[in-house]
């Protein structure tokens, strides 16, 4: 059991976070990627003051073109609107994994400037580290006037369910002038004006090696760049707290760490890739030993965006979903006792060949964490992450929260025993050989830290 002192320490951390008062009528949960696409385009079309799109990537496909075209049209019709786009520097200048870097997203951003001469929409590339594998822009939240549209999704066909397939995420619209101002001003100061940040929509842009030293200094500056604001809400009312973090010791990581032990009855966790940092696994085990209930909703390996069907040519990246399943099987084998007792519930999400990208936490009926953080070692150490922590002490958002969780659970099955998951011996031959080779040279441990 946690001592009273330690229990108070966790609760004290949450109590001392600055909080912004939030009207319950101004929190709206969207329940599908198609709704998310529709609301995003509606908000862009009706914007009057500012639009800021920040995402890992804005893809050159039908959904991405619809969003960027909507931005140009909004700016064309109302030139006074401030429109800003921020994406990851490295991701924008390469093709998809395994594809050649010809006709990249950055090239497309430049072509759009030629299609709309005189309409200036800067697209900034944010380099969080000198290499994409060592850190990316994983900050989330589209700001339109006084509203924050928060989702872990980036902008492309599957995230926005533009065609047949979709990638399932979470989607909240929070209208709050203080929240949107804090996030918007932080992005202007720390990202738009960051020393290593350059426009991608310009024909001539520096090469990554040319700005290597700037990137290193920029990363150090981001480590120290927190949201600074005075709270205007107490601990007895509906409130939101924006959080940002880069690196192991960030306030965001500390808050996630302290949030879990504050569970009195039930903790629910969503993550697309089961690769929890050891410190979070220890939190879960402590809760189970205390008699609390923990529910983890994770994507089936076939619902992973890196999964390659067996009838398609195999690439090394296709081993990742299997590595995550190995992690989950090992985790369950240690904790099978709690699975049997019903304290630990693990659900696998699968809906045809669609993919799963949900992340976040629900603590009892009181706290809800909206985040793009995958709750894995990469998010914990390498990427620039953020979150909005909602405190709902009077359970004013219960109906929305319960409906969202009910829908998330719709396409899930409960794992009754760790042996319900395949073992390595049951994997396709190429996967099996690759994983055994990786284990032999111990590179699987490195992979688990960066992917």
Residues with catalytic annotation? 138, 169, 357, 385
Instruction: State both tokens at 349.
Output: 């999400």
Instruction: State both tokens at 40.
Output: 């995003």
Q: What is the 3-state secondary structure (H, E, C) of the chain?
A: CCCHHHHHHHHHHHHHCCCEECCHHHEEEECCHHHHHHHHHHHHHHCCCEEEEECCCECCCHHHHHHHHHHHHHHHHCCCCEEEEEEECCHHHCCCCCCCCCCCHHHHHHHHHHHCCCCCCCEEEECCCCCHHHCCECCCCEEECCEEEEECCCECCCCCCCCCCCEECCEEEEECHHHHHHHHHHHHHHHHCCCCCEECCCCCCCCHHHHHHHHHHHHHHHHCCCCCCCCCCCCCCCEEEEEEECCCCCHHHHHHHHHHHHCCCEEEEEECCCCCCHHHHHHHHHHHHCCCEEEEEEECHHHCCCCCCCCCCCCHHHHHHHHHHHHHHHHHHHCHHHHHHCCEEEEEECCCCCEECCCEEEECCCEEEEECCCCCHHHHHCCEEEEEEEECCCCCCHHHHHHHHHHHHHCEEECCCHHHCCCHHHCCHHHHHHHHHHHHCCHHHHHHHHC
| 299 Cβ contact partners less than 8 Å away, ≥ 6 residues apart | 272, 273, 348, 349, 350, 355, 356, 357, 358
């Amino acid at each position: 059991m946690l001592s009273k002192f330690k229990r108070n320490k966790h609760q004290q951390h949450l109590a001392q976070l600055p909080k912004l008062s939030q009207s319950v009528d101004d929190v709206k949960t969207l329940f599908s990627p198609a709704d998310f696409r529709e609301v995003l385009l509606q908000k862009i079309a009706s914007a009057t003051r500012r639009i800021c799109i920040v995402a890992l990537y804005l893809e050159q496909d039908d959904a991405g073109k619809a969003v960027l075209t909507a931005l140009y049209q909004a700016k064309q019709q109302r030139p006074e609107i401030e429109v800003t786009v921020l994406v990851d520097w490295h991701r924008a200048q390469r093709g998809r994994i395994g594809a050649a870097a010809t006709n990249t997203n950055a090239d497309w951003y430049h072509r759009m400037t030629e299609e709309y001469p005189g309409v200036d929409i800067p697209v900034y590339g944010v380099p969080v580290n000198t290499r994409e594998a060592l850190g990316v822009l994983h900050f989330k939240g589209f700001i339109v006037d006084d509203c924050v549209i928060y989702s872990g999704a980036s902008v492309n066909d599957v995230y926005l369910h533009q065609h047949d397939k979709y990638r399932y995420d979470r989607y909240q619209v929070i209208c709050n002038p203080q929240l949107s101002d804090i996030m918007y001003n932080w992005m202007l100061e720390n990202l738009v004006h960051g020393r290593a940040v350059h426009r991608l929509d310009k024909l001539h842009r520096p090469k990554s090696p040319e700005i290597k030293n700037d990137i290193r200094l920029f990363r150090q500056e981001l480590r120290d760049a927190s949201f600074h604001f005075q709270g205007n809400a107490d601990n007895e009312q509906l409130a939101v707290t924006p959080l940002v973090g880069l690196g192991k010791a960030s306030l965001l990581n500390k808050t996630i760490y302290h949030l879990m032990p504050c569970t009195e009855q039930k903790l629910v966790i969503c993550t697309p890739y089961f690769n929890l940092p050891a410190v979070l696994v220890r939190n879960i085990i402590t809760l189970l030993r205390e008699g609390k209930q923990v529910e983890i909703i994770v994507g089936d390996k076939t619902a992973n965006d890196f999964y390659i069907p067996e009838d398609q040519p195999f690439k090394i990246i296709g081993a990742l979903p299997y590595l995550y399943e190995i992690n989950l099987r090992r985790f369950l084998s240690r904790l099978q006792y709690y699975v049997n007792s019903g304290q630990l519930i693990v659900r696998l999400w699968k809906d045809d060949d669609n993919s799963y990208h949900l992340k976040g936490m629900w603590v009892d009926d009181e706290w809800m964490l909206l985040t793009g953080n995958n709750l894995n070692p990469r998010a914990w150490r390498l990427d620039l992450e953020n979150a909005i922590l909602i405190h709902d002490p009077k359970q004013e958002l219960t109906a929305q929260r319960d409906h969202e969780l009910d829908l998330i659970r719709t396409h899930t099955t409960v794992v009754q025993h760790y042996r319900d998951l395949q073992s390595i011996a049951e994997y396709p031959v190429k996967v099996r050989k690759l994983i055994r080779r990786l284990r032999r040279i111990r590179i699987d441990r490195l992979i688990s830290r960066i992917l």
